[in-house]
Homo-oligomer: A and B are copies of this chain.
């Protein structure tokens, strides 16, 4: 069977079954945003990797070299954040064409280093190789205390489903670029230079009892499916609660597309999707009042597995939640 038939997630499932990783110190393996290794009883190590490849994940007709480096770093920092941790060190493996200008390579590093520095993360080495396109594989380490570690697998029926920020701008920005529609530079920022929610994730993990968390990299609906699969639960989403900003409304009208559809399938948002027990609702309200810069929206409720994943649309109709999102193969 070819990869185009089995698909990316089918292949991951197969690898997971055939080559399981078990170790008494491996607390989280394949199936989460990052692996987690017990170093001491008080300190866990987060270990994650993510690749951006020219022509697949980005295109230099609309990305600057600095933005490419930034985005590769953002995707990895976001995975550390989704575990409740703090990024510490990183390695970069960089594939480069022979005719690439040295200055452009340094701009890629500037993008990576600049963003990493904001969060106290240090790049400490790596590997360079010849490639016909730019390929950036970043691997980050992070740390998390046992009490703040959040997995995808702890959501329970009755838990509230929350999301940070506004959704949809990343995908809308990409479609505007690709269709060469007119746009404001600020509309494209979420796609080209997203800011990972490292500080916000940490604040959430320290303030609330989070039962699960994931960063929105595949899209709200896909990533909710990941939580549901790992937690063995179902979910109900209220379509009208999905946070849509004013910019997205304008972008959607330029694209002549549904803002809600854009918001639920937009990947590379790097917002946080998380669940909390109902008893944490007051604490959540208090946190929101105390930190006005941090937008958190309650968008649904975790259900029993047998109920599946559903969405209540604006007309009060209950539908199956479409599992949208990107498969590489």
**A residues bordering B, Cβ < 8 Å?**
1-6, 8, 11-12, 14-15, 18-19, 21-23, 26, 29-30, 32, 34-35, 37, 39-40, 43, 45, 47-51, 53, 56-57, 88-89, 91-93, 95-103, 105-106, 109, 113, 122-132, 135, 137, 139, 141, 328-329
Contact = CB atoms under 8 A, between A and B. Distances in A.
Nearest to A94: B51
A12 B106 CA distance: 11
A95 to B, nearest CB: 6
A18 B106 CA distance: 8
Contact of A135 (B1, B45, B88, B135): B135
A126 B51 CA distance: 9
12 contacts: A2-B99, A21-B123, A21-B125, A26-B124, A39-B40, A39-B45, A47-B91, A47-B125, A49-B92, A49-B125, A50-B127, A128-B328
A19 B141 contact: no
Contacts of A6: 102
A98 B5 CA distance: 9
Nearest to A139: B139
Contacts of A95: 51, 53, 135
Given A21-B123, A329-B130, A3 B49 contact: no
A105 B6 CA distance: 12
Contacts of A137: 49, 51, 93, 127, 137, 139
Contacts of A1: 101-103
B2 A124 contact: no
